[in-house]
Amino acid sequence: MGMQTDVKSGTAAAAGTTTIFGGPARVKGLLISYASGGTVVVNDGTGGTAKFSFTAPAAIGTVSVLIPGEGIRCDTNISVVCAAATTAVVFYG
């Protein structure tokens, strides 16, 4: 049987950087909402290595991103940078 962990969530605010979890963890999925385009970048550590990037189209919308397998490993912490008018709910474990 594969690795099992409890899944938690955190919200990344628009126009800023949010530390979702302050230690090692795996990103399992994201729910991204945007008003008129924008970007979301998941980093391993604040200002660290980009592990995932999403660029929204120039229209209002919401997208669900499921990460396959064990998820995206962040060794330092899960840090998310959202552009203006873009937010993300990050699911991690």
Structure tokens at 71: 């998820």
The answer to the question of residue 1 being in a domain is no
Tell me the CATH number at 31.
2.60.120
The 3-state DSSP class for residue 9 equals strand
The answer to the question of residue 18 being in a domain is yes
The answer to the question of residue 26 being in a domain is yes
The answer to the question of residue 29 being in a domain is yes
The answer to the question of residue 12 being in a domain is yes
The answer to the question of residue 2 being in a domain is no
Q: CA 38, CA 15: separation in Å to the nearest integer?
A: 10
Q: Identify the pLDDT of residue 40.
A: 98
**Separation of CA 59 from chain center:** 20
Tens of pLDDT along the chain (93 residues) come to 566 679 999 999 999 999 999 999 999 999 999 998 899 999 999 999 999 999 999 899 999 999 999 999 999 999 999 999 999 999 999
Identify the domain containing residue 41 by its residue range: 8-92
Burial of 59: CB neighbours in 10 Å, binned 0-12, 13-18, 19+: exposed
Q: Measured in Å, how far apart are the chain's first and last C-alpha atoms?
A: 17
The answer to the question of residue 36 being in a domain is yes
Domains held by the chain: number: 1
